[in-house]
Amino acid sequence: MMLGGVGFQVGLDEARRKQLAAQRQAVVRAPQAPAALTPDIVEQLKGLKALHDDGVLSPEEFQMAKRKVLGG
């Protein structure tokens, strides 16, 4: 009986890993943004910070994605 619960949790963990990997790829492939800080850029930076705080992005990935959003 307990095995079903463990199997279910493994499936949830795998789904979460796939979701995080997809989010990382979306961040890495983000288009270049203009230099001015528009509300859209601010929202993108907030999203990146949230991903970083949640442990989805490493500090290096966060910095790289931030540079892309800021166009640098």
pLDDT tens readout for residues 21-71: 888 887 766 665 555 678 888 899 999 999 999 998 899 999 999 988 888
Q: Side-chain half-sphere of 55: how many Cα atoms within 13 Å?
A: 2
SS3 29: coil
Residue 15 has pLDDT above 80, yes or no: yes
Domain that holds residue 38: 2-70
CA–chain centroid gap for 70, Å, is 16
Number of domain units in the chain:
1
Residue 1 has pLDDT above 50, yes or no: no
Q: Which residue has better confidence, 63 or 20? A: 63
End-to-end CA distance of the chain: 54
